[in-house]
Amino acid sequence: MDTKTQSLMERSVAREKALSAMLMTYVLSGLVFMLLPGTFLGVWNLISISRLQALESITPGWIQAHGHAQIFGWVATFILGIGFYSIPKLRKMKPFPMWRGWTCWAMWTAGVLLRWAVTVWPWHWRVLMPFAALLEFAAFLLFFVTIGPAHSSTDGPRKPWDVWVFAVIAATSGLMLSLMLQVLETFSLARTGTSPAFPHEFDQRYLVVSTWGFLVPMVWGFSARWLPVFLGLRPMFSRVFVAALAANSMGVIAALLGYFAPATILILAGSVCAGLSIRILEPSLHKPKVVGVHRSFPLFVRLAYAWLMVAGVLGIWAEFNGQLSPGIWGASRHALTVGFISAMVFSVGQRILPAFGGMRVLASPILMFAGLALLMLGCTLRVSSEILAYQGYAGWAWEVLPVSALIEMTAVTLFAINLAWTFLRPPVVVQGPLAQLVE
């Protein structure tokens, strides 16, 4: 090997190590947001609500702080990190300057932390809330200009886009819209509001944008990219997938404009089309690739898609119920965020992140199984008893809610331990069947 080739190789190994270190920092920060400001506050809220048997017993700011930490602090931080790590490779882009990824991380985590803290303790909130929202938006813009559409591939003619790219574009637009809405609303509250909590009307619409408009298409994009390979599924129906994205996007826009009835129907139609297009519930054509993870991985991915449908059906029920339905809306939201999003992050995340984090192998497939099994149990108890208790159908269900919260908290803690343990262990030399992990 000549010296030029050797120095090129050394540079690319150093770059890969630097990218993995950055990805692991994003993931570990996401785990911290998930555990403390996210889950711990969520459990605390649920225990307080159950003790007083009333959803209104805690301030909306605490509920919103929990939701923000989970969606933006946990899942979005993971996504930004994975984006910086993988998109330049997938698009064969020129290497971007690493300071951009680190500056984005610093602005993003500072913004999310400040936004959370000010919603919980409204100290100088009229200045700090809009500032936090601007920090989050600026971090996103830095991410977008670094690896967004302005950068084209360095070699060869342009290939037509794979279908999962459309889902990633829809999700990125959903994230951008959520952050823009947040900036506008925090400035408006700072001028005329009486507290940092978003008014209920606005919050309901904003939540649809940040969950169905951002998290859901992003997970569909990951599904279309990885599941046919990991689960050995039959070839995707690409047009049905595009129809799913279109129906879902129209549903999100309808909800944003306040038309919840058509929104819930379009959203369910989108989810059904997404499941059909990925062919997730059909038997696999090839053997699933489960080396390095627990062999139950395909089952949990399928259960996650079943929860997606449950979330859509509950949304329709809540809208057409003919009376106030906070319990059914809450159940729909957690069927989506815990049953679908968290289960997908637990399963696909533990499948791909160890390899992205410097060719590592998941520390414990058993912990992966335990985390996912407890998540499913906690979610089932939570979703069913939230409807029974909050809607006044069965008083005993108030006793079940704290139990569900503790089970879910154990599940997320096991997930966090497994990933942190994986990253803290030295990388392995990838050989034989384990090479599947990094394909």
Give residues in contact with ligand HEM (CB under 6 A). Answer: 39, 42-43, 45-46, 49, 55, 63-64, 66-67, 70-71, 75, 203, 207, 330, 333-334, 337-338, 341-342, 405, 408-409, 412
Whichever of 233 and 387 has its CB closer to ligand HEM, that residue is 387
Min dist. Cβ of residue 8 to ligand HEM (A)? 42
Which helix or strand (DSSP H or E) is residue 103 part of?
helix 98-120
Nearer to ligand HEM, 70 or 77 (CB): 70
Cβ within 8 Å of residue 291, ≥6 positions away: 433, 434, 436, 437
CA pseudo-torsion sign 281, 172, 188, 65: positive
* CA–CA separation, 22 and 100 (whole Å): 11
Shortest Å, Cβ 15 to ligand HEM: 32
Contact, 378 vs 404, CB < 8 A? yes
Nearer to ligand HEM, 141 or 313 (CB): 313
**43 HSE (CA, 13 A, CB side):** 19
Residue nearest to ligand HEM (CB): 330
Residue type, 430: V
Q: Look up residue 250 and give its two tokens.
A: 């129209």
CB of 333 to ligand HEM, least distance (A): 6
Count Cα neighbours of 28 within 13 Å in the Cβ-side half-sphere: 12
Distance, CA of 67 to CA of 92 (rounded, Å): 35
Could you tell me the smallest distance in angstroms from the CB atom of residue 314 to ligand HEM? 12
Q: C-beta of 246: minimal distance to ligand HEM in Å?
A: 24
- Give the CA distances from residue 61 to residues 38, 148, 195, in Å, rounded to whole numbers and listed in that order: 13, 33, 8
Extract the tokens encoding 381. 């108890």
Classify the phi-psi angles of 366: left when phi > 0, otherwise alpha if psi is within -120 to 50, otherwise beta: alpha
Shortest separation between residue 51's beta carbon and ligand HEM, angstroms: 12
Distance from the first to the final alpha carbon of the chain: 26
When the beta carbons of 37 and 292 are compared against ligand HEM, the nearer one is: 37
| 431 and 285 Cβ atoms separated by less than 8 Å | no
Smallest gap from Cβ 98 to ligand HEM, in A, equals 29
Which of 265, 331 has the CB closer to ligand HEM?
A: 331
Minimum gap (Å) between residue 399 Cβ and ligand HEM: 15
Query: What distance in Å separates the CA atoms of residue 298 and residue 300, rounded to the nearest whole number?
Result: 6
Task: Indicate the residue among 346 and 369 with the shorter CB distance to ligand HEM.
Answer: 346
Q: For ligand HEM, which is the closer residue by CB, 39 or 146?
A: 39
Whichever of 20 and 391 has its CB closer to ligand HEM, that residue is 391
Count CB atoms within 10 A of the CB of residue 332. 27
Helix 365-390 crosses helix 397-424 at what angle (to 10 degrees)? 160
CB of residue 31 vs ligand HEM: minimum separation in angstroms? 12
Contact (Cβ atoms closer than 8 angstroms) between residue 357 and residue 422: yes
Closest CA relative to residue 219, chosen from 109, 91, 347: 347
Q: Which is nearer to ligand HEM, 55 or 256 (CB)?
A: 55
Q: How far is the CB of 370 from ligand HEM (least distance, A)?
A: 15
- CB nearer to ligand HEM: give 39 or 391: 39
Alpha carbons 371 and 228: distance in angstroms, whole number? 24
In our burial notation (b when 16+ CB lie closer than 10 A, e otherwise), range 214-233 reads: bbbbbbbbbbbbbbbebbbb
Q: What is the identity of the amino acid at 237?
A: F
Smaller CB separation from ligand HEM, 125 or 241: 125
Q: What is the Cα–Cα distance from 264 to 197, expressed in whole angstroms?
A: 25
Give least dist CB 178 to ligand HEM, A: 11
